[in-house]
Structure 1
Protein backbone atom coordinates (compact mmCIF):
# COMPACT_ATOMS: atom_id res chain seq x y z
CA UNK A 1 0.00 0.00 0.00
CA UNK A 2 2.75 2.43 1.00
CA UNK A 3 4.71 1.51 -2.09
CA UNK A 4 1.73 2.42 -4.31
CA UNK A 5 1.48 5.92 -2.84
CA UNK A 6 5.21 6.50 -3.42
CA UNK A 7 4.87 5.28 -7.00
CA UNK A 8 1.75 7.41 -7.61
CA UNK A 9 3.44 10.52 -6.18
CA UNK A 10 6.48 9.89 -8.36
CA UNK A 11 4.25 9.38 -11.39
CA UNK A 12 2.34 12.62 -10.73
CA UNK A 13 5.60 14.53 -10.29
CA UNK A 14 6.99 13.09 -13.51
CA UNK A 15 3.82 13.91 -15.49
CA UNK A 16 3.74 17.46 -14.13
CA UNK A 17 7.40 18.02 -14.95
CA UNK A 18 6.91 16.62 -18.45
CA UNK A 19 3.85 18.80 -19.05
CA UNK A 20 5.64 21.96 -17.90
CA UNK A 21 8.73 21.18 -19.95
CA UNK A 22 6.73 20.39 -23.09
CA UNK A 23 4.78 23.67 -22.99
CA UNK A 24 7.97 25.74 -22.85
CA UNK A 25 7.69 26.79 -19.22
CA UNK A 26 10.94 27.77 -17.52
CA UNK A 27 11.76 29.62 -14.34
CA UNK A 28 12.79 33.23 -14.72
CA UNK A 29 15.80 34.69 -13.05
CA UNK A 30 15.40 37.35 -10.39
CA UNK A 31 16.99 40.02 -12.60
CA UNK A 32 14.54 41.33 -15.19
CA UNK A 33 16.90 43.62 -17.07
CA UNK A 34 20.25 42.53 -18.55
CA UNK A 35 23.09 42.17 -16.05
CA UNK A 36 25.15 45.02 -17.54
CA UNK A 37 22.41 47.62 -16.93
CA UNK A 38 21.77 49.46 -13.69
CA UNK A 39 19.12 52.04 -14.49
CA UNK A 40 15.98 52.49 -16.62
CA UNK A 41 15.47 56.10 -17.66
CA UNK A 42 11.84 56.69 -18.69
CA UNK A 43 11.16 59.64 -20.98
CA UNK A 44 7.60 60.66 -21.80
CA UNK A 45 5.77 63.77 -22.95
CA UNK A 46 3.97 63.79 -19.60
CA UNK A 47 5.50 62.19 -16.51
CA UNK A 48 1.99 61.96 -15.01
CA UNK A 49 0.61 59.91 -17.87
CA UNK A 50 -1.20 56.75 -16.72
CA UNK A 51 1.22 54.46 -18.59
CA UNK A 52 4.22 56.13 -16.94
CA UNK A 53 2.65 55.65 -13.51
CA UNK A 54 1.87 52.00 -14.31
CA UNK A 55 5.44 51.48 -15.52
CA UNK A 56 6.87 53.03 -12.33
CA UNK A 57 4.58 50.75 -10.31
CA UNK A 58 5.82 47.65 -12.15
CA UNK A 59 9.45 48.80 -11.86
CA UNK A 60 8.98 48.82 -8.08
CA UNK A 61 7.50 45.31 -8.19
CA UNK A 62 10.42 44.01 -10.29
CA UNK A 63 12.91 46.00 -8.17
CA UNK A 64 14.24 47.91 -11.16
CA UNK A 65 16.07 51.14 -10.45
CA UNK A 66 14.91 53.95 -12.65
CA UNK A 67 12.75 56.98 -13.08
CA UNK A 68 11.95 60.10 -15.07
CA UNK A 69 15.41 61.62 -14.56
CA UNK A 70 18.76 60.44 -15.89
CA UNK A 71 21.09 59.09 -13.23
CA UNK A 72 24.40 60.96 -13.21
CA UNK A 73 27.38 58.64 -13.52
CA UNK A 74 25.34 55.69 -14.84
CA UNK A 75 25.21 56.71 -18.52
CA UNK A 76 27.16 53.58 -19.60
CA UNK A 77 24.69 51.23 -17.87
CA UNK A 78 21.39 53.05 -18.50
CA UNK A 79 18.61 51.91 -20.80
CA UNK A 80 16.58 54.87 -22.06
CA UNK A 81 12.89 54.22 -22.73
CA UNK A 82 11.10 56.90 -24.77
CA UNK A 83 7.36 56.43 -24.54
CA UNK A 84 5.14 57.84 -27.26
CA UNK A 85 1.60 58.97 -26.37
CA UNK A 86 -0.69 56.00 -25.78
CA UNK A 87 -3.72 55.34 -27.96
CA UNK A 88 -7.09 53.83 -27.13
CA UNK A 89 -9.51 52.70 -29.82
CA UNK A 90 -12.78 50.83 -29.75
CA UNK A 91 -14.06 48.36 -32.29
CA UNK A 92 -17.72 47.39 -32.39
CA UNK A 93 -18.29 43.69 -31.79
CA UNK A 94 -22.05 43.33 -31.32
CA UNK A 95 -25.29 45.29 -30.90
CA UNK A 96 -28.54 44.76 -29.05
CA UNK A 97 -31.78 44.19 -30.96
CA UNK A 98 -32.56 47.87 -30.32
CA UNK A 99 -29.45 48.92 -32.21
CA UNK A 100 -27.48 50.01 -29.13
CA UNK A 101 -23.91 48.82 -28.79
CA UNK A 102 -23.65 45.68 -26.66
CA UNK A 103 -19.96 44.85 -26.86
CA UNK A 104 -16.71 46.60 -27.79
CA UNK A 105 -13.17 45.48 -28.27
CA UNK A 106 -10.83 47.93 -26.56
CA UNK A 107 -7.50 48.37 -28.34
CA UNK A 108 -4.78 49.97 -26.22
CA UNK A 109 -1.78 50.88 -28.36
CA UNK A 110 1.72 51.46 -27.03
CA UNK A 111 4.67 52.78 -29.04
CA UNK A 112 8.15 53.31 -27.66
CA UNK A 113 11.80 53.62 -28.55
CA UNK A 114 14.56 51.99 -26.55
CA UNK A 115 18.15 53.22 -26.50
CA UNK A 116 20.46 50.54 -25.09
CA UNK A 117 23.81 51.28 -23.43
CA UNK A 118 25.69 49.91 -26.45
CA UNK A 119 24.10 52.59 -28.68
CA UNK A 120 21.56 50.33 -30.37
CA UNK A 121 18.14 51.92 -30.86
CA UNK A 122 14.97 49.92 -31.22
CA UNK A 123 11.51 51.24 -32.14
CA UNK A 124 8.60 48.97 -31.37
CA UNK A 125 4.89 48.91 -30.68
CA UNK A 126 2.21 46.51 -29.54
CA UNK A 127 -1.47 46.41 -28.66
CA UNK A 128 -3.33 45.11 -25.63
CA UNK A 129 -6.87 43.92 -26.43
CA UNK A 130 -9.91 43.46 -24.18
CA UNK A 131 -13.56 42.79 -24.81
CA UNK A 132 -15.88 45.14 -22.97
CA UNK A 133 -19.63 44.63 -22.63
CA UNK A 134 -21.65 47.81 -22.49
CA UNK A 135 -24.98 48.11 -20.67
CA UNK A 136 -26.80 51.41 -21.21
CA UNK A 137 -28.95 50.78 -18.13
CA UNK A 138 -25.95 50.77 -15.76
CA UNK A 139 -23.90 53.72 -16.97
CA UNK A 140 -22.16 54.54 -13.67
CA UNK A 141 -21.14 50.95 -12.94
CA UNK A 142 -19.93 50.47 -16.50
CA UNK A 143 -17.82 53.64 -16.43
CA UNK A 144 -16.12 52.39 -13.26
CA UNK A 145 -15.60 48.99 -14.86
CA UNK A 146 -14.11 50.66 -17.94
CA UNK A 147 -11.63 52.58 -15.75
CA UNK A 148 -10.65 49.34 -14.02
CA UNK A 149 -10.19 47.54 -17.35
CA UNK A 150 -8.04 50.41 -18.68
CA UNK A 151 -5.91 50.31 -15.53
CA UNK A 152 -5.39 46.55 -15.96
CA UNK A 153 -4.50 47.08 -19.63
CA UNK A 154 -1.87 49.67 -18.66
CA UNK A 155 -0.36 47.34 -16.05
CA UNK A 156 -0.23 44.55 -18.65
CA UNK A 157 1.43 46.95 -21.09
CA UNK A 158 4.01 47.95 -18.45
CA UNK A 159 4.77 44.28 -17.71
CA UNK A 160 5.11 43.61 -21.41
CA UNK A 161 7.49 46.55 -21.91
CA UNK A 162 9.76 45.28 -19.12
CA UNK A 163 9.75 41.73 -20.49
CA UNK A 164 10.41 42.98 -24.01
CA UNK A 165 13.31 45.15 -22.81
CA UNK A 166 15.08 42.10 -21.48
CA UNK A 167 14.36 39.89 -24.47
CA UNK A 168 15.18 42.59 -27.05
CA UNK A 169 18.51 43.36 -25.44
CA UNK A 170 19.39 39.66 -25.34
CA UNK A 171 18.81 39.53 -29.10
CA UNK A 172 21.21 42.37 -29.93
Structure 2
Protein backbone atom coordinates (compact mmCIF):
# COMPACT_ATOMS: atom_id res chain seq x y z
CA UNK A 1 0.00 0.00 0.00
CA UNK A 2 2.89 2.39 0.81
CA UNK A 3 4.55 1.69 -2.52
CA UNK A 4 1.32 2.37 -4.33
CA UNK A 5 0.91 5.72 -2.51
CA UNK A 6 4.53 6.65 -3.27
CA UNK A 7 4.11 5.72 -6.94
CA UNK A 8 0.91 7.77 -7.12
CA UNK A 9 2.61 10.83 -5.56
CA UNK A 10 5.59 10.58 -7.91
CA UNK A 11 3.40 10.26 -10.98
CA UNK A 12 1.26 13.23 -9.91
CA UNK A 13 4.31 15.42 -9.28
CA UNK A 14 5.96 14.51 -12.58
CA UNK A 15 2.69 14.88 -14.45
CA UNK A 16 2.06 18.42 -13.20
CA UNK A 17 5.51 19.66 -14.29
CA UNK A 18 7.02 19.99 -10.81
CA UNK A 19 10.81 20.34 -10.73
CA UNK A 20 13.17 20.75 -7.82
CA UNK A 21 14.26 24.34 -7.31
CA UNK A 22 17.41 25.19 -9.22
CA UNK A 23 17.01 22.23 -11.55
CA UNK A 24 15.09 23.62 -14.49
CA UNK A 25 14.70 21.84 -17.79
CA UNK A 26 16.66 23.79 -20.37
CA UNK A 27 16.29 21.19 -23.10
CA UNK A 28 15.77 23.89 -25.73
CA UNK A 29 19.33 25.07 -25.01
CA UNK A 30 21.72 22.23 -25.73
CA UNK A 31 24.55 24.78 -26.14
CA UNK A 32 24.83 28.52 -25.55
CA UNK A 33 27.49 31.21 -25.74
CA UNK A 34 27.63 33.66 -22.83
CA UNK A 35 29.29 36.99 -23.60
CA UNK A 36 30.13 39.44 -20.82
CA UNK A 37 32.82 41.59 -19.29
CA UNK A 38 35.91 39.77 -18.16
CA UNK A 39 35.80 38.66 -14.52
CA UNK A 40 32.08 39.40 -14.11
CA UNK A 41 30.72 37.76 -10.96
CA UNK A 42 27.21 37.57 -12.43
CA UNK A 43 28.59 35.87 -15.54
CA UNK A 44 30.42 33.32 -13.39
CA UNK A 45 27.24 32.52 -11.45
CA UNK A 46 25.19 32.30 -14.65
CA UNK A 47 27.61 29.91 -16.35
CA UNK A 48 27.68 27.81 -13.17
CA UNK A 49 23.85 27.56 -13.24
CA UNK A 50 23.89 26.66 -16.93
CA UNK A 51 26.42 23.89 -16.32
CA UNK A 52 24.27 22.54 -13.47
CA UNK A 53 21.43 22.28 -15.99
CA UNK A 54 23.58 20.32 -18.49
CA UNK A 55 23.90 23.17 -21.01
CA UNK A 56 27.12 23.15 -23.03
CA UNK A 57 28.97 26.48 -22.84
CA UNK A 58 30.50 27.56 -26.12
CA UNK A 59 33.76 29.50 -26.15
CA UNK A 60 32.82 31.36 -29.35
CA UNK A 61 29.46 32.29 -30.89
CA UNK A 62 27.98 29.98 -33.53
CA UNK A 63 25.21 30.62 -36.05
CA UNK A 64 23.17 27.61 -34.91
CA UNK A 65 23.41 28.29 -31.15
CA UNK A 66 21.86 31.01 -28.98
CA UNK A 67 23.99 33.79 -27.52
CA UNK A 68 23.36 35.48 -24.19
CA UNK A 69 25.07 38.85 -23.83
CA UNK A 70 25.25 40.45 -20.39
CA UNK A 71 25.09 44.13 -21.20
CA UNK A 72 25.35 45.54 -17.68
CA UNK A 73 24.78 44.85 -14.03
CA UNK A 74 24.87 47.89 -11.80
CA UNK A 75 24.23 48.70 -8.16
CA UNK A 76 22.60 51.97 -7.18
CA UNK A 77 21.86 53.35 -3.71
CA UNK A 78 18.97 55.59 -2.82
CA UNK A 79 18.67 57.28 0.57
CA UNK A 80 15.61 56.19 2.53
CA UNK A 81 16.14 57.83 5.93
CA UNK A 82 18.57 60.02 7.87
CA UNK A 83 19.78 60.19 11.46
CA UNK A 84 19.04 63.36 13.45
CA UNK A 85 22.59 64.59 12.74
CA UNK A 86 22.06 64.31 8.96
CA UNK A 87 23.99 61.08 8.31
CA UNK A 88 22.34 58.41 6.20
CA UNK A 89 20.62 55.76 8.30
CA UNK A 90 19.06 53.57 5.63
CA UNK A 91 19.63 52.95 1.93
CA UNK A 92 17.65 51.15 -0.72
CA UNK A 93 19.94 49.06 -2.91
CA UNK A 94 18.83 48.70 -6.53
CA UNK A 95 20.57 46.01 -8.58
CA UNK A 96 19.86 46.46 -12.31
CA UNK A 97 20.60 43.78 -14.89
CA UNK A 98 20.36 44.18 -18.65
CA UNK A 99 20.97 41.37 -21.10
CA UNK A 100 20.24 40.37 -24.67
CA UNK A 101 19.35 36.91 -25.94
CA UNK A 102 19.92 36.16 -29.60
CA UNK A 103 18.32 32.97 -30.86
CA UNK A 104 19.32 31.44 -34.23
CA UNK A 105 17.39 33.01 -37.09
CA UNK A 106 15.49 35.39 -34.80
CA UNK A 107 15.92 39.04 -33.84
CA UNK A 108 17.69 39.74 -30.54
CA UNK A 109 15.45 40.02 -27.48
CA UNK A 110 16.37 42.59 -24.84
CA UNK A 111 15.61 41.91 -21.14
CA UNK A 112 16.10 43.98 -18.02
CA UNK A 113 15.01 43.71 -14.41
CA UNK A 114 15.71 45.27 -11.02
CA UNK A 115 16.11 43.71 -7.60
CA UNK A 116 15.65 45.75 -4.42
CA UNK A 117 17.01 45.46 -0.86
CA UNK A 118 16.97 47.76 2.14
CA UNK A 119 20.27 48.35 3.89
CA UNK A 120 20.70 50.03 7.29
CA UNK A 121 23.93 51.92 7.70
CA UNK A 122 25.70 52.53 11.02
CA UNK A 123 28.83 54.72 10.93
CA UNK A 124 29.92 53.31 14.29
CA UNK A 125 30.24 49.81 12.79
CA UNK A 126 31.68 50.66 9.38
CA UNK A 127 33.67 47.43 8.92
CA UNK A 128 30.75 45.16 9.80
CA UNK A 129 28.39 47.15 7.57
CA UNK A 130 30.84 46.96 4.66
CA UNK A 131 30.88 43.16 5.03
CA UNK A 132 27.08 43.10 5.22
CA UNK A 133 26.91 45.14 2.01
CA UNK A 134 29.21 42.64 0.27
CA UNK A 135 26.98 39.76 1.40
CA UNK A 136 23.84 41.57 0.19
CA UNK A 137 25.44 42.19 -3.20
CA UNK A 138 26.44 38.51 -3.50
CA UNK A 139 22.87 37.50 -2.64
CA UNK A 140 21.48 39.91 -5.26
CA UNK A 141 23.80 38.45 -7.90
CA UNK A 142 22.69 34.90 -7.05
CA UNK A 143 19.05 35.91 -7.30
CA UNK A 144 19.72 37.64 -10.63
CA UNK A 145 21.42 34.52 -12.06
CA UNK A 146 18.52 32.35 -10.86
CA UNK A 147 16.00 34.74 -12.40
CA UNK A 148 17.81 34.66 -15.74
CA UNK A 149 17.80 30.85 -15.71
CA UNK A 150 14.07 30.86 -14.94
CA UNK A 151 13.45 33.24 -17.85
CA UNK A 152 15.48 31.01 -20.17
CA UNK A 153 13.46 28.01 -18.99
CA UNK A 154 10.21 29.71 -20.01
CA UNK A 155 11.33 30.43 -23.59
CA UNK A 156 10.13 28.18 -26.37
Same-fold call, TM > 0.5?
Answer: yes
Give the unaligned 5+ runs of structure 2: 1-15
- Tell me the SS of whatever aligns to 1:137: helix
Could you tell me which residue of structure 2 aligns to residue 38 of structure 1?
30
Give the unaligned 5+ runs of structure 1: 1-24
5 Å-filtered alignment, 1:6-155, equals: 27-28=18-19, 31-33=24-26, 35-44=27-36, 46-66=37-57, 69-70=59-60, 75-76=63-64, 78-155=65-142
TM-score, normalised relative to structure 1: 0.72
TM-score, normalised relative to structure 2: 0.79
Considering only aligned residues, what root-mean-square deviation do their CA atoms show, in Å?
2.3
The structure with the largest alpha-carbon Rg is 1
Provide, for residues 28-86 of structure 1, a one-character-per-residue CA deviation record: whole Å limited to 9, x for no partner: 385532x3321121011x2311211221232233333225x1377xx42x221011121
State which drifts further: 111-120 or 140-149: 111-120
- Tell me the SS of whatever aligns to 2:25: coil
